[in-house]
Each structure stands twice: as C-alpha cells, then as structure tokens.
Amino acid sequence: MNDVCICLFAAPNFDKSAQGLAGAGRRLAAELDGQLLAVIVGAGADALAAEVARIADTVTLADQAELAEYQPETCLNALAQLCGERSPRAVLLANDTYSQEIAPRLAYRLGGSAVGDGVEVRVEGEALRVVRQVYGGKAQAVIELKRTPAVVWLRARSFAPAAERAESGEITRAALDIQADTRTRIVERKREAGGEARLEEARVIVSGGRGIGGPEPFESELKPLAELLGAQMAASRAACDAGWVPPTWQVGQTGKKVTPELYLGIAITGASQHMAGISEAKVIAAINTDPDAPIFKHSRFGIVEDYRKVVPLLREKLAALQR
C-alpha cells in the first residue's frame, strides 16, 4: 500500500514539531497517491487527536492503561501492532527522544528500513528518498530506503505544517492485545522546568559557550538579552559539561539540533560538532574575540569583540526600540 503513517506520543497540545510531522506526512501521502494515517500512543491525547484529525484521513488513539506512561518495550509492541495492521509505505516520527529510540527497532519489527534526522522526504520514480545532514552540516546525504516500510524520524521545524482538510478524519480507539513489557524500563524521569517552549521549536536562540567564563554571565548578561529578543537560551557542550547551565540547553551533534530563524552564538568558537546542531538555522550571528573562530565562516553577521562590551550595547539598543 502507498499510505503514510505518522506516529505521535500523547501530548497536551499540537506543537510545532507535531505540526511539521503531520505536514510532511500529508505531502508524502499526496506524492504516493495514498492516505495519511495517524496513530497516537498514550493517555490524555483527546485534544491532540482532534487537531491531528483535521489533517489526517484517520486517527487511531491507543490509550490503554498499559500505555498511560511511556515504557519503551510496551510502546514498541503497540506501534508494531498498529503499523503492522496498516501496512504503510512509510512511517514517520518526530524528533523527540522516544521517537529516536523506537524508530530503528520499529523498522526491524516491521521488516522495513530506518533513517534518522531527515530534513526532506520525497518520492523519485518508485523510490522513497530521505535527505539528511552529514559532516557537521557541511553536506547532505540522499538515502534511498529500499525495504518497506521506510521508518524515518524527522528534524523539528524542517517541515511546514499542512493545510487543514475540509472534513476531519475519523478518530477511533484501538483495542490492542498487549501487556506491560518491563524487560527494558524507565526507572526515573527528570522533567525540564515548565513555562518554556522546547528548544527545537524556538524561533530565536541566544547561546553561550566556554568563552562566557562561568555560570553568572548566563544569568546577568545573556538572559536579559534573550528576554528582550523573545529568545530561548542555549549553550555549547563545553558550557554544559562545566555545569554552568542545564544539560538540556546543549546544542550540537551530541545535543539538540535546532532550526531557529536567528541563532546568536556568544563566545562560541564553532567546532564542527556544534555547527552540526545549528546547520539548519536561517540566520547565524556570532560574537567572539577570535577573528579566526570557525563560527564566523557560517555567520551572516559577526562581531569580533569581547561579548562583555557588545551585549550591554545590544540590550540598550533593543530596550530603546521597545519603548
């Protein structure tokens, strides 16, 4: 079959990542001349299901007691059963931790093929191809997935939302034959502080590196600037490893991959591992004392100066504009 199935985990709202996933699925289904099927796993997802139904042809909600909280084995069993019954050509997932963990294992269960961090999914002839960044964002690889279904998790904010359909798709509840599987289980959960959007969905990011010099400037210098810009805070691996800021702020190859409209890197050298996380940013701007810092090669705007001289001036100008 040429249908496309998108897999989502229960969430209180239809965020940018989920909207992009639905948009990518809708366009791929149109290319394949198939339907867009959505499956949602977890409790408390009625509002999300209603939103997704405005785009998908059908929505299946699996909210049994065993799936109330994410456990990898149980959710994998559920998705394998739901997707296996539908025999789609492609299965698309978002870039959250759960999706990244499950995607390759789901592909194996379904006898398909998997790839991650896709920034484009397209059909060429009879082939389904996925584009992803390689070499720290310096090049793109085009990967052809020959085994069906193609199971792909997609980078957040790389795909535009889809237009709503005239009629909402049908929503049904699944009655799965599954049991809680605890061979592998989550024993502790730590949640990010509430009140902030996910870093992957931020339109503007202010990020600091090792050259910031310690935790205090993040609070006294960078945070006020971020507030004036309506930006999210982020950091390089060095700053996170030093314990200056939470590890959830880390951007880079081993951190979060972001696609903001503006990424302002302050006192960040711009090693290839960091640039891999910001290669899809629309505009990169940098402040660094080293004129040969690699980040300047990727920046549209750059200032060679001590950030402690530049940031206060930026805050002053921005505050004046908002009066």
End residue of a domain, out of 155, 173, 191: 173
For residues 299 and 311, give the distance between their C-alpha atoms in angstroms, rounded to a whole number. 17
For residues 20 and 92, give the distance between their C-alpha atoms in angstroms, rounded to a whole number. 11
Mean pLDDT of 176-180: 81
Residue 183 lies in a domain: no
Domain containing 268 — which CATH number?
3.40.50.1220
* Residue 209: pLDDT over 90: yes
Q: How many domains does the chain have?
A: 2
Listed in sequence order, the residues at least 6 apart from 177 whose beta carbon sits closer than 8 Å to its beta carbon are 81
204 with 125, same domain: the answer is no
152 with 209, same domain: the answer is no
Mean pLDDT of 241-256: 92
Please choose, from the candidates 60, 57, 56, 55, the residue with its C-alpha nearest in 3D space to the C-alpha of residue 81: 60
144 with 239, same domain: the answer is no
203 with 273, same domain: the answer is yes
Domain containing 76 — which CATH number?
3.40.50.620
For residues 61 and 196, give the distance between their C-alpha atoms in angstroms, rounded to a whole number. 27
For residues 64 and 66, give the distance between their C-alpha atoms in angstroms, rounded to a whole number. 5
88 with 167, same domain: the answer is yes
Residue 230 lies in a domain: yes
Residue 33 lies in a domain: yes
pLDDT band at 16 (very low <50, low <70, confident <90, very high): confident
Residue 242 lies in a domain: yes
12 with 79, same domain: the answer is yes
Residues 83-112 as b/e (b if ≥16 CB within 10 A, e otherwise) read beebebbbbbbbbbebbebbbebbbebbeb
64 with 204, same domain: the answer is no
Render pLDDT for 77-136 as a digit per residue (tens, 0 to 9).
999 999 999 999 999 999 888 999 999 999 999 999 999 999 999 999 889 999 998 877
Residue 97 lies in a domain: yes
* Cis amide bond preceding 149, omega within 30: yes
226 with 133, same domain: the answer is no
End residue of a domain, out of 173, 207, 224: 173
Higher pLDDT among residues 4 and 66, named by residue: 4
For residues 287 and 177, give the distance between their C-alpha atoms in angstroms, rounded to a whole number. 56
Residue 24 lies in a domain: yes
* Residue 194: pLDDT over 70: no
pLDDT band at 192 (very low <50, low <70, confident <90, very high): low
Question: Domain span at residue 291?
Answer: 199-321
* Residue 222: pLDDT over 90: yes
Residue 191 lies in a domain: no
Residue 232 lies in a domain: yes
